[in-house]
Structure 1
C-alpha cells in the first residue's frame, strides 16, 4: 500500500472514487477492493485542510452484497490544528436488481445502509444513513443516480440527492462529472459540482483525479481529489500468509 501511495501521488467518498455518491455495483464475493487517496486539499471558509489519507475498504460478503468501512484523516493547515478522523462509517451495500452494471438488461438498483461513526475529536455522536442507487450504462456512457436520507452524527436530519455522469466504459481514460445537493436541516445546505478523469489500467486497478467546487450556505468550498482503486481476491493474502509460514518453519531453528 505504501508503494501505491507513492505511485498515486499527486492524487477522498464513498464507495466510488472520486465522487461523493456511488454506483449500483459491489465487490465480487471474496474480493477486497480498496479506494485510497494518500492526500488531498480542501479549502473552505474555515481555512485550508489536508485530507490524508481518505480510505474506503469494500469486501464482497456474498453474491451481490459487500461490507464497507470508510474514513478520512483531516488535518487543518491554516490555521493549524490536530488531525481528526472524520466521515467514518460502517455499511452494507447490496444489489437489489441486477442490471447493466452486472451485464444484464435494464438499470441496476442497489441500496446502502449503515452507521455513521463519531469523529475522533469533538463531541459528535453516532448517526445512521439509508441510500438508494440506480445506475444505467449505455454505449455512450453511464448515469448513476443517488438519493440518501440520514440522521447525522449531531442528530440532525439530512437528505442528499446526486447524479454521476461517466464517459464510455470501454475508454481507457474516461471523463466524469458529478452534481449533488445536500440539506442538513437547520444547519447547512450544499450545492456541489465535480469534474474529473478516471484512468483504468485494468479491471482491478484505476487512478482518478477530480476538482470540486461547492457552495455551503453561500460560502465557497474548493477541493482537489486524486487517488487509486485496486482490488484482489482475499485468497491472495491467505496464500501469501501460508507461504510465509511454510518458509519460516523450514528455516533452521
Structure 2
C-alpha cells in the first residue's frame, strides 16, 4: 500500500479509469478507492514505453471532499531505458454542487486542485493545477465535461478540455468514450480519442479496457489501457491491524 501511494494513472491531475478526464464525484467518507493499471503500453514518436504500474489513490475526507495521490512508473522499451516515476501529484477534490452523481437532480459540479511533483529523473520542477468538472447522468448514459488549467513542471501554461460519454450506469458492461484537446503553449498540442468498456462486478469493484489514439504536434500516439478500480473502508484495515497486533506471537 505504501508503494502504491507513489505511482498512479497517466494524467498529472484528473483521474477516472480508463480516461484522462474525471467525474464530479468523490469517494465516500472514510473510504479508500484505488484505480490500478498493472501494466499498459504507450507508443509515440520517441518509441514504445511500458506503463507499470499506474495507480491513483483516493480517500474520502468528508461527504464532499477527497484527497488524491497519483503518479506513474514509465519504462522505455524501444529504445530501452531506466524506469522513471513521473506524473506524480497530490490533490484535493471537492463536490461544489451535488447532483445526479449524488442521487440528486441536476448536474453535479466539482473542482480539483493541487501540486504536480517533480519526476524522479530529469530536471523537472514543481507545478500546479486547477480543474472544473460537470457531470450529468440520465437513464441512457452519463456525460462528464472537464476544463483544466495547469502550470507544468517546466513552468509552461497548459489547458485541457475534454468530454467523457458513458453508457447506462445500470448496465453490467457499459461502453465508454472520451475526446479531449490539450495545449501546452509553445510546446505541444494534442487531440485525443478513446473508446473502451467498463465491467462492473459490484459497487466497489470494476474492470476496464480501452484503446486510445491521439495526435501530438501531428505525430501519432497509441495506447492500450487495462485495469481495475476497487474500494474499501479504511476502518477495515485499521481493525485488521489492531486484531493482528492483539494476537500472541504476531506483535
Q: Provide TM-score, normalisation by structure 2.
A: 0.94
**Alpha-carbon distance between aligned partners in 2 of 1:15 and 1:83, rounded to the nearest angstrom:** 22
SS in 2 for 1:240: helix
SS in 2 for 1:104: coil
Query: What is the total number of aligned residue pairs between the two structures?
Result: 241
Unpaired segments ≥5 residues, structure 2: 2-9
**Alpha-carbon distance between aligned partners in 2 of 1:174 and 1:251, rounded to the nearest angstrom:** 48
Name 2:89's counterpart in structure 1: 89
Q: 1:147-180 deviations in whole A, cap 9, x for unaligned?
A: 0001000000000000000000000000000000
**Alpha-carbon distance between aligned partners in 1 of 2:242 and 2:126, rounded to the nearest angstrom:** 39
Per the alignment, do residues 218 and 252 of structure 1 end up closer, same or farther by CA in structure 2, a change over 3 Å counting?
Answer: closer
Name 1:4's counterpart in structure 2: none
Per the alignment, do residues 202 and 219 of structure 1 end up closer, same or farther by CA in structure 2, a change over 3 Å counting?
Answer: same
Tell me how far 1:252 sits from its aligned partner.
Answer: 10
Tell me how far 1:190 sits from its aligned partner.
Answer: 0.1
Unpaired segments ≥5 residues, structure 1: 2-11
Note if 1:175 corresponds to 2:192: no
**Alpha-carbon distance between aligned partners in 1 of 2:151 and 2:136, rounded to the nearest angstrom:** 28
Note if 1:51 corresponds to 2:28: no
Note if 1:78 corresponds to 2:78: yes
Kindly report which structure 2 residues correspond to 1:114-133, keeping only aligned pairs within 5 A, or say none: 114-133=114-133
RMSD: 1.3
Per the alignment, do residues 252 and 124 of structure 1 end up closer, same or farther by CA in structure 2, a change over 3 Å counting?
Answer: closer
Per the alignment, do residues 181 and 252 of structure 1 end up closer, same or farther by CA in structure 2, a change over 3 Å counting?
Answer: closer
SS in 2 for 1:62: coil
Note if 1:162 corresponds to 2:162: yes
Tell me how far 1:15 sits from its aligned partner.
Answer: 2.3
Q: 1:14-56 deviations in whole A, cap 9, x for unaligned?
A: 4210000000000001000000000000000000000000110
**Alpha-carbon distance between aligned partners in 2 of 1:69 and 1:214, rounded to the nearest angstrom:** 26
Name 1:222's counterpart in structure 2: 222
Tell me how far 1:243 sits from its aligned partner.
Answer: 1.0
Tell me how far 1:70 sits from its aligned partner.
Answer: 0.3
Tell me how far 1:234 sits from its aligned partner.
Answer: 0.3
Tell me how far 1:63 sits from its aligned partner.
Answer: 1.5
Name 1:110's counterpart in structure 2: 110
